[in-house]
Amino acid sequence: MADLDQLLARIGAAADVQALEAERVAALGKQGAVTALLKSLGSMTAEARQSEGPRIHALRERVGEAIAARRAALEAAALERRLATETLDMTLPVGAGQEGSVHPVSQVMDELAEIFADLGFAVATGPEIEDDWRNFTALNIPESHPARAMHDTFYFPDRDAEGRRMLLRTHTSPVQIRTMQTQKPPLYIIAPGRTYRSDSDSTHTPMFHQVEGLVIDRGIHLGHLKWTLETFLKAFFERDDIVLRLRPSYFPFTEPSAEVDVGYTMVKGRRVLGGSDGWMELLGSGMVHPRVIAHCGLDPDEWQGFAFGCGIDRLAMLKYGMDDLRAFFDGDLRWLRHYGFSALDVPTLSGGVGA
């Protein structure tokens, strides 16, 4: 058995795969020592085989195991050596991929749609190239009405088939008219979209975005308007301390009319909505003028409701803190990446409408 111990020692000490293979051949190969022992079993007597057989087989097994163990150890060592040479600088930077963005105006429009959907309002649209009847006359702004001049309207030289002058809508209110003309009440809609006025300075752009709200139903009054605006603004700004102040005002298409101020507090020199340290004008609203309802072919004694209009760009600025309206329309990638939203920032009621 001294032979065996020596053999096992040699296997265990084999320096590499080749040396180990040589030992395997020497022990288990055709001419190998262990093979020779196995072969000798054939020439033994039955008794001798009975006693020698298991011993020799066990011997072969131990040698085989020792070889396998050594091979695994050699291979593991070899892999380790290889891996040791395969290092990479894991601090090398990787690209972030192309990061796209959603424009704040679109994001806010989605937020509005989400909030108002919960209140039962659908989103309506209308053309931006309007006729002066829907933009003004039907809204109780007859020609030469001072309010018409105050709108700084962009006009086209064109007239429609009925001889109405074509213009760029100055507000989203003509969508009220279109909705009342084509759908049967009760009506609960918001109408976001582009609007235009011939006005350009640091706080005005000739194109801007507005959202119109319209409710026509039975028994709707000013209190419903107040609740709706409060509910909307609390949801939009995600603050419970939003305070509104309704002020009597004048819009030709509403009666009574109310300008709506929202309270703010000063935080580090900035106006933050909520509280009532001061007031800022946020939107115009009122009960739809009976004459407007009649213009659209509805009976103002049966149907009444409210309308409001608000600047979307301004809502975005107040919520997300941009301070330059002109940048909204410049397409500056740096601005878009900074103030824009990720594709996955989809406003939801459960996840919140703010991102």
**By C-beta, is 133 or 154 nearer to another protein?**
154
* Contact status: 344 vs another protein (CB under 8 A): yes
Which of 49, 103, 164, 239 contacts another protein by CB under 8 A?
Answer: 103
* Contact status: 322 vs another protein (CB under 8 A): no
Tell which phi-psi region holds residue 151, choosing left (phi > 0), alpha (psi between -120 and 50) or beta.
alpha
Return the beta strands (E) in 183-277 as ranges: 187-196, 207-217, 244-251, 254-267, 270-273
Question: Which residues are bridge partners to 131 per DSSP?
Answer: 166
Length of the chain: 355
Using DSSP's 3-state secondary structure scheme, residue 227 falls into helix
Contact by Cβ (8 Å): 60, 34 = yes
Dihedral sign, Cα of residue 152, residue 158, residue 163, residue 169? negative
Which of 258, 262, 273, 307 contacts another protein by CB under 8 A?
Answer: 258
**By C-beta, is 266 or 333 nearer to another protein?**
333
* Contact status: 4 vs another protein (CB under 8 A): no
**By C-beta, is 308 or 341 nearer to another protein?**
341
Which of 21, 60, 255, 355 contacts another protein by CB under 8 A?
Answer: 255
248 φ, ψ to 5°? -60, 140
Considering only residues 54 to 83 of the shown chain, the ones binding another protein according to CB under 8 A are none
**By C-beta, is 55 or 218 nearer to another protein?**
218
* Contact status: 98 vs another protein (CB under 8 A): yes
Cβ density class 156-168: b for 16+ within 10 Å, e for less: eeeeeeeebbbbb
**By C-beta, is 50 or 198 nearer to another protein?**
198
**By C-beta, is 163 or 248 nearer to another protein?**
248
Contact by Cβ (8 Å): 259, 281 = yes
**By C-beta, is 4 or 346 nearer to another protein?**
346
Which of 4, 28, 346, 355 contacts another protein by CB under 8 A?
Answer: 346
**Minimum distance from residue 278 beta carbon to another protein (Å):** 13
Q: Which two tokens stand for residue 131?
A: 């006729």
* Contact status: 118 vs another protein (CB under 8 A): yes
What distances in angstroms separate CA 250 from CA 141, 273, 286, 313, 352, one per listed residue?
Answer: 12, 25, 9, 23, 35
Interatomic CA distance for residues 215 and 196, integer angstroms: 24
* Contact status: 332 vs another protein (CB under 8 A): yes
Considering only residues 279 to 298 of the shown chain, the ones binding another protein according to CB under 8 A are 287, 289-291
Which of 39, 247, 270, 326 contacts another protein by CB under 8 A?
Answer: 247
* Contact status: 163 vs another protein (CB under 8 A): no
Tell which phi-psi region holds residue 297, choosing left (phi > 0), alpha (psi between -120 and 50) or beta.
left
* Contact status: 239 vs another protein (CB under 8 A): no
Considering only residues 134 to 153 of the shown chain, the ones binding another protein according to CB under 8 A are 142-147, 149-150
Which stretch in 8-16, 23-31, 35-43, 213-221 sits in contact with another protein by CB under 8 A? 213-221
* Contact status: 177 vs another protein (CB under 8 A): no
